[in-house]
Amino acid sequence: MSLSLHETVRETHESPYETRTIDAPVVPGAATAILESYRPATDRFLATPHRTLLGSGTAARIPHDSRPPAERVREVLGALRRPDAPAPVVVGALPFAPDAPPALAVPETVRWAPPLRQDPLIALPVPDGADRPEWRVREVPAPERYGEAVASAVARMRAGEFDKVVLARTLELTAGREPDLPAMLRRLARRDPAGYTFAVPSGPGRTLIGASPELLVARDGGRLTANPLAGSAPRSADLAEDVRRAVALLESEKDLHEHAVVVAAVREALAPFCASLEVPERPTLVRTAAMWHLSTTVTGEVADPGVTALDLASALHPTPAVCGTPTEVARAVIAESEPFDRGAYTGMVGWQDADGDGEWVVTIRCAEAEGRALRLFAGAGVVAASTPEAETAETAAKFRTFLHAVGASL
């Protein structure tokens, strides 16, 4: 049975899952006050459709060793747990590469508030102009080189070597002074207040900042939710054209195939952990300020109460939506094709408490800031039906979220 456009579109503020009620008053300004309080280097900020949190200071860091990240997090949080005290929380990011160090820490203090989307003050504009430096922009790789990498991957897929790969490119932005990261974060949050906005330290002198539309997985008690997005189209300022693009995406064989590959991988990864798992037969559409995405909300009941949100996220990462399939072949193609280190890009960012509940988000629509430089990332899923022109245009559209926040353009 076919569905109408109205039946298959949901706004990013319509939550795909239920979570605990945050013990904080729903009063105007509670969430935006946390947003305004963010300071780089010492703070870790995360806003989701269900909560806003700000971790300050560092009580403990998650070590880097050969054990799975979830095991290391479980050990640190367990050691910090105290009777009759709130469960300690870890906040931060894990990189794309499985053997790279995490940027996870337990803050000394954590402030919680309701979601930004419920705070009417989030609609107020950010003062503009003075905080925006003049940016010099360099594309790495250049668009023609990126197109060549896409064409090469398509040829190899048509020869049967692999099924899908996600190829990314970057924009290197440099300025005469350091950017105002708090102002940048406020603009990102106000552009998509119902999405996942974050700013966390990602290494010495580095900050990962962004606004992702994609939940990797959340656990709330025995309930899990994953919301894979794959298959995208840029929005249009013209209403009729915007609707046409949405309908075309919903009917695109190429994008529906790309999406189905991702959903199948999510189902396969989560099934061993679940007593039950519900996977809708058809995707819906989800829209952000810049893009349309095909979206499927997967829900289930966790069979073992000891399985944490990060256990689930680690089983999913990397999905074909950010890497490709088969995974190891796609990783090799990425390493051959991309002339940069992804770092935290296409990793995961989020939080988890000592009870195992948490939210982990796919690290996309982001940049890494270091000194007077910003590196922006955007990728596109390449399948056998892809074209270099379409995938280059898709990455350009995905850059818009961050370019808007920093006041730069291609």
Write the DSSP string, 368-400: EEETTEEEEEEEEEE-TT--HHHHHHHHHHHHH
| DSSP structural state of residue 100 | S
Query: Maximum distance among all alpha carbons in the chain?
Result: 61
Number of H helices, E strands in the chain: 10, 23
Q: Measuring CA to CA, which residue among 292, 212, 308 is closest to residue 259?
A: 292
Q: Any idea which residues carry the catalytic annotation? A: 164, 214
CB-based contacts of 274, cutoff 8 Å, min separation 6? 224, 300, 301, 302, 303
Report the distance separating Cα 292 and Cα 96, nearest Å: 24
CB atoms < 10 A from the CB of 108, how many?
12
How is residue 120 written in tokens?
A: 């009417």
Report the distance separating Cα 169 and Cα 231, nearest Å: 18
